[in-house]
Amino acid sequence: MARSHTEMCLRVLCGIAQNSESDSARVAAVGLIWDRGWGKAPQAHTGEDGEGDIRVTIRHIVQGITNAPATLAAPNGSAHQLEHAKDE
């Protein structure tokens, strides 16, 4: 249903980009039009300081949980080992 309004929505955005007196509204409209027309720029997924892999640490916040899974399946099908840390 939303897709059936695509042309009207694009015309509204184009009208805002061309006629709005608010610069922020014009910039937002132009950005939305570009993103839909040309796709968003690729975003690099990197670790700290833009280098290396992303590292995620998962800690239990409830004491006494001992049956957490040892591996975590990623969406691409690969499995990652989880390190279990015990609070001292």
Per-residue pLDDT of the chain (88 residues; tens, 9 = 90+): 888 988 998 999 999 999 999 999 999 999 999 888 888 888 777 777 777 777 777 776 666 556 655 555 565 555 555 554 444 4
Task: Report the alpha-carbon distance of residue 25 to residue 17 in Å, rounded.
Answer: 7
pLDDT of amino acid 13: 93
pLDDT of amino acid 20: 93
Q: Is 29 exposed, middle or buried (0-12, 13-18, 19+ CB in 10 A)?
A: buried
| Full-model pTM | 0.45
Cα Rg of the chain, angstroms? 23
